[in-house]
């Protein structure tokens, strides 16, 4: 059984379809990289899995995390999953990382927040 299972994911902004028919399954122990040209939808795909897509985006399809459907999960549910079961390393270190803290402290902070 896949830990993350995405079926036929599509994302629209108004009449513009940005993502279409994304299928992806990640099994336990696998390491997966999402690669593609600039503007191909890598970031929007990852943000959609985390429930962080822009407010005006319309999602269709299925996203399952550990057997739980999360495509339209409420924010309270997603907050409980982010950092504990799923996370994202953002691609722009200047906006994602605090230069005053070590990277180890920043990673540990996420673990502390979600595990007490």
Domains in the chain (CATH in brackets) are 2-115 (3.40.50.300)
What per-residue confidence (pLDDT) applies to 114? 75
What per-residue confidence (pLDDT) applies to 108? 87
Distance CA 47, CA 42 (A): 9
Ramachandran bin of 8, using left for φ above 0, alpha for ψ from -120 to 50, beta for the remaining angles: left
What per-residue confidence (pLDDT) applies to 92? 75
Low-confidence ranges of the chain (pLDDT < 50): none
Q: How far is CA 5 from CA 39, 63, 85, in A?
A: 23, 6, 14
What per-residue confidence (pLDDT) applies to 106? 85
């Amino acid at each position: 059984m896949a830990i993350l299972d995405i079926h036929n994911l599509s994302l629209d902004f108004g009449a513009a379809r940005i993502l279409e028919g994304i299928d992806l399954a990640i099994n336990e122990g696998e390491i997966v990289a999402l690669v593609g040209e600039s503007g191909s939808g890598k970031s929007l795909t990852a943000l959609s899995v985390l429930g962080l897509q822009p407010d005006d985006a319309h999602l269709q399809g299925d996203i399952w995390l550990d057997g739980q459907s999360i495509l339209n999960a409420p924010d309270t549910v997603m907050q409980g999953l982010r950092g504990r079961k799923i996370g994202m390393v953002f691609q722009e270190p200047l906006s994602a990382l605090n230069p005053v803290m070590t990277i180890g402290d920043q990673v540990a902070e996420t673990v502390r927040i979600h595990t007490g």
